[in-house]
Amino acid sequence: MTKPKASIIILDYLKSRRVCENVVGILAQKTDFPFEIIVVDNSANPLNAKKLKTLRKHPNVKVIINEENIGYTKGNNRGVKKSKGEYILIVNPDILWKDEKILQKLIHYMEKHPDIGVLGPKQINDGDGSIAMTVRRFPKLTLQIARRTSLRRLPILRSLVAHDECRDLNYNLIQPVDWLQSSFWITRRSLWHKLGGLNQNYLIFMSDPDYCWKCWEIGYKVIYYPDVQVHADGIRASAGGIKEFFKTWILRQHFKDAVKYRMTHFFKGNPRKGYYRDESERK
């Protein structure tokens, strides 16, 4: 097979049916370059693995079956290590490609703008047609806690949480943003290696804002690109309030990863603001 220009990494956890639909959509993409798909299975479930192995009939699809759930960051990093593309796409299992030119448009935009480190499309929740809020401002631990409790109803906190969640954003405009959720984004292999991939200090969450933070820090932009749209099921693993926190392991892990993130970046200024300040000074 000719060396691929793009490598699409799909990390699965018990969503083999959606992964197969996802792969069908990718294989239908019309591009003027070769691409490959790397499916990494974290399910540790024989039936799920059996379904995913059927994808190996496609010559540009690789399937990696992990014996145990190694987490989000390690799973994606393992997939990237097995890939060869100049561009890396991290894609959730539930993504649906309803436009056959999505991949072509994304690669074209990245090649046209070499200063972009991460690019993410508009996501549409497939159930109700609403826009998925995949854009965020850099996380603040107090607001992450507040949004899961009744405190978010307080006027001042409600306003701050809405700001943190970018509810004021015009989701129809191409624009630089603090960070993008890695449910679907594209980055450069050269940059991925420079940053060391996703930070494995985080098990599941917070590696995407951490990666985007580092992009801005070394002079690469993070861009929201709504001229391209993908669809998803709109279900978030981290959804839930304070009651679910005590019942659900994944929410407690979200909190642990959030604390690690905050400790890492606590004394640092927003690198996006620093990027544009430095740019202004250069002019």
Query: C-alpha distances in angstroms, 122 versus 151, 199, 218?
Result: 30, 25, 25
Number of domains in the chain: 1
In a domain? residue 248:
no
What's the number of CA atoms in the CB half-sphere (13 Å) around residue 71? 16
CA distance 1 to 233: 33
**What is the predicted pLDDT for the residue at 69?**
95
Model confidence pLDDT, tens digit, residues 147-164: 555 555 656 566 766 667
φ and ψ of 32, to 5 deg: -105, 25
116-125 sheet: strands from edge to edge: 61-65, 35-41, 6-12, 87-91, 184-188, 116-125, 221-232, 175-176
The residue ranking higher by pLDDT, 261 or 68, is 68
Which pLDDT band, with edges at 50, 70 and 90, does 142 fall under? Answer: low
The reply to whether 127 falls in a domain is: yes
Domain annotation covers residue 162:
no
The predicted model gives 38-66 an average pLDDT of: 98
In a domain, 265, yes or no: no
What residues are paired with 221 via a beta bridge? 116
In a domain, 270, yes or no: no
What one-letter code names the amino acid at 226?
P
Q: Which CATH number does the domain housing residue 215 bear? A: 3.90.550.10
| 153 assigned to some structural domain | no
Residue 254 resides in a domain? no
Q: Which domain holds residue 124?
A: 6-139+170-234
In a domain, 205, yes or no: yes
Q: How many Å apart are CA 49 and CA 37, to the nearest integer?
A: 16
